Structures are given as structure tokens and as C-alpha cells.
Structure 1
Amino acid sequence: MKLKSAAFLSLLVLQCLAVLTVAQNDFDFFYLVQQWPASYCDTKRSCCYPTTGKPAEDFSIHGLWPNRNDGSWPSNCDEGSSFHESEVSDLVKRMQQEWPSLACPSSDGVRFWSHEWEKHGTCSLLNQHQYFQTALDLKDKSNLLQVLKDAGIRPGKFYSLEKIKEAIQEGVGYTPFIECNVDQGGNRQLYQVYLCVDSSASDFIECPTFPHGRCGSEIEFPSFSSLHDEA
């Protein structure tokens, strides 16, 4: 009788763990988050360029984040799944260019990519190669800098928040969420752009919900090319 009770208890524990795992991996859509490097660097925190050199003046990937319609999100869904550069060896050059780390101290990006994979990628239902390639391809598809330039919005000036949002909505086809930060002079500046992607990570969609946060009505789109090279 004791053996049957122990077996039943073990089965019940396994079932509960399975339910928790499914719940942890459950999500409704992704945020593709891209950041503007000049805004990352032009703060009191400053930045450090990657060991591969100063990135190009273009938006770069912060991450591809599974999210739920209620605003919550899963994270660290598989603690046993570590990032392995060998899994994305054919993507590393693109990742260095389009997904660089600007955090200090200077690095080759591996620590940044590891964090994104372990916190968000393990919840994406994609394998490592699929996760990183999907994010890279979605970034290229959105082509944010060209979209803004086509609307007459170029780095180095102030623009209305609505004009930036409208330009991205028209160019990409979907409404973005704009996140701002503050430069060393106290000006609010375009920092990150959130676009929503369906749960299969195949295409953009209208966002079911937006993150919290506000920008001013006029925000700076700072120039990265004019920043000194001592970051």
C-alpha cells in the first residue's frame, strides 16, 4: 500500500511539474525590441563599443521577447539550456553587426546573446539557431532607419513623437511602441522601438498590449556618427 501511495505521489508531482512547464512557456506574441545606439550611449551611464569596433549608425536588436496579452511574460524557461556559439556559427558575423552589445566593459557580444537566449529564447519554442535568425530577419524586414529616412526623419534633430510613430506605422504596416530615455543634457530621446510579432514568429502584427512608459511630445533622434569615439 505504501509503495502504491509513493508511486501515486510521484506521478502527481510529475504532472504538476508538466503543467507548470507548459504555463511557463505559454505566451501570445513576441516583442521585437530594437534600440538606437546613440541614445544608449548618450546617457550618464555612457557605453562601451564592442571589441569588434564601433557599430554602424543603425538600429540594433535588443531582443525577441515572448509576451502575454495580459502584459506578463515567461522567462528562463529552461535553466539547462545554455547558449552555445557553435549553434549559430553561421550567424555570428550578422549578430556582431546587428545585435552588438554596448554595455561596459567592451565585449564580443557572447554574454549579451547568452542572456537573451537564456531569459527569453528558452521560452520562445524555437531552437537557438531559429531564435537568433528569426530576430535578425525580422529586424531586416522592418528596416527602421530607412523607414524613418523615407519620412524625412534623420538623426541629429528633434521630431514629434507622433511623427515618428506614424512614419513607422506607415513604413512597417503596424503601430510601434516608442520607449525614450534621457540624455546627459536632460532631453528625452528615441531609445527603443517595440514591434509585435505573432506567436509563431513569422510576421508582424498589431500589438495586443503595449509596455508602460511615456515620452515627451518632442523627442531627440540623436546622431551616432557624430558621437566621439572614446565611448
Structure 2
Amino acid sequence: MVFENSFTTDNSCPLDLPYSCTNSTPIENSCCFENPGGIMLQTQFWDYYPPIGGNETFTLHGLWPDNCDGSYEQFCDRNLEIHGVEPILDKFEPGLYDEMKTYWKNFNGNDESLWEHEFNKHGTCVKTIRPQCYGNFQNDRNVYDYFKVATNLYKSLPTFEFLKEEGIVPSNEKTYTKKQIDDALTKHFGQKVFFKCNKYQGLQEIWYFHHLKGSLLQENFKPIDTLSHSSCPETGIKFFPKGALGPSPPPSPGRRGYLKISNGCLISNGKFFTKGTCATFRLVNAEFGGYNILSSKGTCGIVDDKIVCNRSKITKNQFNFKDGLVGFNSKFKWCIEGSKDQKDVVLSDGTCEEFEIRLQ
């Protein structure tokens, strides 16, 4: 089945469309079919250390469009990125700002920076709310719609109540099994739900996976089984009351070292250099997950698939770090481009001689 590009205004998409990721033929450039990000992932956090949000409330973290294979795009369109949320919401529904301040919380208290990040990283990748998908587009309407839909979906999934109804409540003493939590969430969501524990074996994250029919504006979500596997222990899982471990964990000092590639290393601007002294980099926990890489030149990030380190604001700055290797977007293969002494380090597209970057 093939669908041509269609423009939608207030839920005008056809009713007989398939759910995302269930089509048998490719569908491209449609305002009524989410592709390639056809899996809509709604995420919630139980922030107890430091304590964030209400004592009987999982906080909203975001709404992510994952591809049908579990991979995902991010920061898809610089032209759609925003800087400031409250003025946008005030144009359409002022009350939504206060509602988001209650449920959509950032651990450091700067909630609006989290909202900006979530829209710029994920909202710009939702194809069915691009400006051209509106018949009479009003500036920033797509931004408002993203936050409104994310908030609506969050309210339809009251995780704390799901668990409470099955006898799973916060406690300093009581522990739970993985099966108990799995059964409780599956019962209320209708499909398997991903949940994540932290280093204290404490329940911390919940991910709900969906397919989507039509445009995101239609909010026609179909629950599906999780595509991720929980690493929580089989027994002894703790559901800590908020504040049980104190007001805030100590700041991480980060990791320091050289970023080595084969017979050379990265210098402070992020380029590869075969001669001279390697630069010292520092990896620290990023505000919204993953790691920031810092050099004497400033924060490092990805610009046009290249590593760049400077003082400017680079939105693609959440790196992965696993087994000593540095990656981005869960990819750990890199390439070297250029003929000068200082060469660009770029994400591999599979057509070059690949390297790994190791922190040493």
C-alpha cells in the first residue's frame, strides 16, 4: 500500500491507514504516517535521589520517535529547534506551562531546559508535525502540539497508580521481584513494559512503547511490547520513597584521559593528529543522559557528523561511553577524513576504514 504526501489539519488523516511499522511497502514523506520513527516511546522517571516531583508521581521525561528497528534519529532539523518554551505555550494554552511544571521535571530545577532539549532532540524528528503538514500553519504550533500530546499520553499512563493497585509502593525496607513489577505494568498497559534500575537496585525508569496510526495530532497510540530488556535483578528491587537517600548525590568528578585512535589521538579542537602532544579530555555525566566531553577549547559535540570542540553551543553533545570506548548515538565506529595534519573525525557510514576511540 502506498500513500502520497498528504497535508493534515486537525486530525484530517484517513481512518484506514495502517499503524506505523506495520506497512508492507515503503512509505515516505507522508504527513499521515510516521516514518521512519514509527515507534513512539513515552518515558517516565522515578526521581528519588535527588527527590523530584510529587511523592506519588513518576515524572515525565519525554516522547521519542524510535525507528522500527529500535534505532533512532535525533536533532533532525536545526531550523525547527527552539530556545524558550513559555512564550510558545502562552500563545496557545497558558495553562499547559503550569501543568508541565508539575509533572515534567528536570533534576537540576531548570525544567524549561529539559523541555527545549526534548523538542530539539526528538520533537524535530516527528515527521507528522512538520510545519508543512498543517493546512494553515501558525508559527510554533508544531512545538505546542508536541508538548500537548506528550503530556496527554503521560497522563493516560499513571505508573504510580498501576504499581500501587498491585501492592507495589515505595518503602525503605520492602523489596520486589522483577516478575512482580513486570506483571503489574503488563496488566495495566496491556503489553510488556521496559523498566530500569540504578546502581542502588532502585526502580528508576519506565518506558512505554507504542505504534501510531495517522498523524501524531490524532493521538492514536497502540501499545506494543518493549523492544528493550530490563537489567534489573530478579529479586531485591527497591522502590525507594523520594528523598530516602538524601537530598542529592555528590557530583561526579568525571573521567580524564587521552582520546586515542590507532596511531594518533585527538587534540583539543576535536581533530585527529598524528604528531605532537595528545590533549587531555574530561568525560562528565551530561544533564540529559550520556556524557559530555570537555577539552581546553570547550564542550565537544557533533556538527555535520564531525567531532568539534569549541565554546559555541552544540546541541548534539551527548556521547556514549562503554568499555572504555567513546561513541555517539550508540555507534562506536569512526572515520578519519582530510589530507592535512589535523584531520576530521567523523561518524562512520560503513564505507571507510573504521576506527574506535578509546579513553586512555
TM-score band w.r.t. shorter chain:
0.7 to 0.9
- What is residue 63 of structure 2 aligned with on the other side? 64
Mapping for residues 25-174 of structure 1, pairs under 5 Å: 26-38=36-48, 41=49, 47=50, 55-57=53-55, 58-83=57-82, 84-85=84-85, 86-89=87-90, 90=94, 91-103=96-108, 106-107=109-110, 109-125=111-127, 126=129, 127-156=142-171, 157-174=174-191
Deviation track 1:27-67 (CA, whole Å, cap 9, x = no partner) reads 121110111011xx2xxxxx4x7xxxx52121011110100
Higher strand share: 2
Deviation track 1:106-150 (CA, whole Å, cap 9, x = no partner) reads 42x111111100000111133211111111111111111011111
| SS at 2:88 equivalent | helix
| SS at 1:55 equivalent | coil
> Cα gap change, 1:146/1:196 in structure 2, threshold over 3 Å: closer, same or farther?
same
- For the residues of structure 2 that align with 1:212 and 1:65, how far apart are their CA atoms? 18
CA contact (8 A) 2:194 2:229 kept: no
- Give unmatched runs, 5+ long, in structure 2: 1-27, 30-34, 130-141, 250-360
Deviation track 1:163-198 (CA, whole Å, cap 9, x = no partner) reads 111111111222201111113xxxx11111110122
Give the CA deviation at 1:97.
0.9
- Normalised by the length of structure 2, the TM-score is 0.49
Higher relative contact order, chain-length normalized (CA < 8 Å, sep 6+): 1
Runs of 4+ in 1 over 4 A off after TM superposition: 225-231
Q: Which amino acid aligns with 1:203?
A: F
CA contact (8 A) 1:195 1:204 kept: no
| SS at 2:151 equivalent | helix
Name the Cα RMSD after superposition.
2.4
What count of residue pairs does the alignment treat as equivalent? Answer: 191
> Cα gap change, 1:215/1:206 in structure 2, threshold over 3 Å: closer, same or farther?
same
- Normalised by the length of structure 1, the TM-score is 0.74
Give the CA deviation at 1:202.
2.5
CA contact (8 A) 2:43 2:208 kept: yes
> Cα gap change, 1:191/1:69 in structure 2, threshold over 3 Å: closer, same or farther?
same
Q: Which amino acid aligns with 1:113?
A: W
> Cα gap change, 1:134/1:70 in structure 2, threshold over 3 Å: closer, same or farther?
same
| SS at 1:174 equivalent | coil
| SS at 2:118 equivalent | helix
Q: Which amino acid aligns with 1:94?
A: E
- Give unmatched runs, 5+ long, in structure 1: 1-20, 42-46
- What is residue 239 of structure 2 aligned with on the other side? 221
- For the residues of structure 1 that align with 2:248 and 2:121, how far apart are their CA atoms? 31
| SS at 1:37 equivalent | coil
CA contact (8 A) 2:189 2:223 kept: no
- What is residue 202 of structure 1 aligned with on the other side? 220
Larger radius of gyration: 2
CA contact (8 A) 1:30 1:66 kept: yes
Q: Which amino acid aligns with 1:77?
A: C
Give the CA deviation at 1:225.
5.4
Give the CA deviation at 1:98.
0.8
